Amino acid sequence: RKEVEQDPGPFNVPEGATVAFNCTYSNSASQSFFWYRQDCRKEPKLLMSVYSSGNEDGRFTAQLNRASQYISLLIRDSKLSDSATYLCVVNLMTGGFKTIFGAGTRLFVKA
């Protein structure tokens, strides 16, 4: 079983739609959590951190459920520019912090 699992998609949604991605992690020792975004043929870049209390950044909302070992990302009012792969990321404390990436969920937003 992979340490971080995501639905690979693709998710095809029209502009203006609300879309949600989920991610589960297997190691209960996971310490911190993030969502990264990766555009085609580019490097991953941080989208937002994920906190137990939930956090919002404009149209993006991230949630963490430690009991269920589950992370989510909600995108409201989707834009064409949101088309990308969204990577769920977990930091494990193992001597130093070991950063594990999910395989990503691909999103296509259509006009």
Partner 1 sequence: DARVTQTPRDKVTEMGQEVTMRCQPILGHNTVFWYRQTMMQGLELLAYFRNRAPLDDSGMPKDRFSAEMPDATLATLKIQPSEPRDSAVYFCASGTGANVLTFGAGSRLTVL
79 forms part of the interface with partner 1 (CB under 8 A): no
Q: Which of 43, 53, 58, 81 binds partner 1 (CB under 8 A)?
A: 43
Q: Which is nearer to partner 1, 28 or 43 (by Cβ)? A: 43
Tokens of 27: 């190691």
Q: What is the DSSP string of 29-42?
A: TEEEEEEEEE-TTS
Residue 20 CB, nearest approach to partner 1 (Å):
20
Distance CA 23, CA 35 (A): 10
By C-alpha distance, which of 85, 81, 82, 64 is closest to 73?
64
Residue 92 has, within 13 A of its CA and on its CB side, a CA count of 12
Report the residue from 17, 69, 98, 108 that binds partner 1 according to the rule CB under 8 A: 98
Residue 100's DSSP bridge partners are: 90
Beta carbon nearer to partner 1, 22 or 91: 91
When the beta carbons of 6 and 83 are compared against partner 1, the nearer one is: 6
Please choose, out of 16-24, 31-39, 55-63, 72-80, the segment that lies near partner 1 by the rule CB under 8 A: 31-39
